[in-house]
Amino acid sequence: MSGADGSLVRVGLGVARAAACILLVLTGTFGCDSDGGGSAGCGSPTRDCTLAEAADDAGVWIGAAIDDPSAPPAQMTVADHFNSVTAENAMKWGSVAPTVGNYDFAAADAIVDLAESRGARMRGHTLVWRMQQPADLRAQVDAAEDPAARLREILAEHIGVEVGRYRGRVAAWDVVNEPLAPIGEQIDRNLFMRTLGEMYLDEAFQLAHAADPEATLFLNEYFYDHTSADARVSAFRDLVARLIDRGVPLHGVGIQAHFYGPVTPLPERAAFEAMLRSFTDLGVVLELTELDISINYFAAAADPLFAQAAAYADIVAACMAVGGCQAVTTWGVDDAQTWLDTNPQFSGSAPHMPLLFDAALIPKPAYFAVRDVIAGR
C-alpha cells in the first residue's frame, strides 16, 4: 500500500510488532523475526511480512468482513493485510432488496469494487437466510394462491439477479446461511423449509450454480461445541453428505467459528482439526468464515492479549493442517467494530475485543500469531 494510509499502517505494524515480539519471546509462545523487509520469503527469519503476504505465499486466503468500505478499517487494511473480503451485511437479501424485487446494490457494489481494486478475493454473504430478508417476503409467500410456486419464483429471481450481477467477480457464495435451527440439531423450520421442505437447499444451490457456474458455493453454519462429538456438528455433516449424494452443486462448507463466551468453549486444537477434517473428508473445501475470539476467555491470564493470540494460533493452525481448509475470515477488522459489542445478546459482556486489530487499527499479538502460523505452513 502506498500513500499516507499505508505509511500509517506500516508504522503501526512496526511499533506493534516490536512490542509483540518482546512479549512473545518472554512468554516463549512464538518465534520472533528481525525486521528485515528483504527479498526472502515470508517464512524467512529476515522478512517482516504482512498477513496478506503470508497468506499469498501459503496459497490461502485471509479475509475480513467489512461493512463500510470507505471507513479507515477497510481502506487501511484490505490492501496490506487481507487478500479476501466478505460483506458483513451489504449483500444479504434484505440489504440488496428491502422489499421483494426492489433492488439497491449501491452498498454491495462499493464493497465488491473495494475488493477488486485491491486485488482481494470477494466472498458473497449470503443469499438465503432466515434473517435480514426483504420486509414483505413472508407476506408475499403467505398471500399467494400457491405459496410454494411463489417462493420458488421469488428465489429464482433473487438468486439469478444477485449472483448474475457479480458473475466472475464474487468467487465464493454462502448460498444458504445457517440451515440448522438456532439451537439443536434439526433443520430450521424457517419460511423456506416450511414452504418447500429440505429441497429448498438443493434448489438454492442449483440456482446459484446456474447463475455463475464458476463460483464456489458454500453452506455456512455455526456451532457451540466445535468438535466431532457434538450432535449439531454430526447433523450438519449428515446434511452436507445428503446434499452431495443428491448431486447438489455444493462445493464448500463454512464453519463460522464465533467464540464469544461460556456456551462456545474453545476447542482443543486436535479436536477442532478432526472436526474440520470430517468435513473435507466428504470431498468439499472448507473455510473458517466468521472467526472471532472474545478477550473474555482470558480475563484471568497474565496477559490476555497474548493468551488470545495463542488461541487464534491454535484455531488457525488447525485449519492450516487440513488440506481442504483454504481460508480464514475474521468477522470484522478491528475491535472498535464488532457485532459482539452491539448485539443485545452479547453486549452485556462488552468489550469483547475479538479481532486482529485494536480500536486504533494497530495489529494485536493475535495478528502476528496468525501471520506466523500461516507463514509456517
Residue among 203, 151, 182 nearest 256 (CA): 182
- Tell me the number of residues near ligand G3I by CB under 6 A: 8
The set of residues, in sequence order, having a beta carbon less than 8 Å from that of 136 and lying 6+ positions away, is 99, 100
Q: How far is the CB of 177 from ligand G3I (least distance, A)?
A: 6
Q: Binder to ligand G3I among 33, 53, 80, 88 (CB under 6 A)?
A: 88
Q: How far is the CB of 88 from ligand G3I (least distance, A)?
A: 5
x/- track of binding to ligand G3I for residues 167-196 (CB under 6 A): ----------x-------------------
Q: Which cell numbers hold the place of 272?
A: 477442532
Q: How far is the CB of 243 from ligand G3I (least distance, A)?
A: 20
40 binds ligand G3I (CB under 6 A): no
Q: Which of 53, 88, 162, 178 is catalytic?
A: 178
337 binds ligand G3I (CB under 6 A): no
290 binds ligand G3I (CB under 6 A): yes
Q: How far is the CB of 67 from ligand G3I (least distance, A)?
A: 6
287 is catalytic: no
88 is catalytic: no
**Cα dihedral 257/364/328/60 (nearest 10):** -160
Interactions with ligand G3I, residue window 338-367 (CB under 6 A): 339
Dist. CA 310–CA 250, nearest whole Å: 33
User: Most distant CA pair in the chain: distance in Å?
Assistant: 69
Q: Cα-atom radius of gyration of the chain, to the nearest Å?
A: 21
Q: Which cell numbers hold the place of 293?
A: 475470539
Q: Name the residue whose CB lies closest to ligand G3I.
A: 339
φ/ψ (deg, to 5) at 206: -65, -40
The set of residues, in sequence order, having a beta carbon less than 8 Å from that of 364 and lying 6+ positions away, is 16, 20, 305, 308, 309, 335, 355, 356, 357, 358
x/- track of binding to ligand G3I for residues 256-275 (CB under 6 A): x-------------------
Dist. CA 304–CA 294, nearest whole Å: 10
Interactions with ligand G3I, residue window 132-151 (CB under 6 A): 132
Which sequence positions are flagged as catalytic?
A: 178, 290
User: Which residues are near ligand G3I by CB under 6 A?
Assistant: 88-89, 131-132, 177, 256, 290, 339
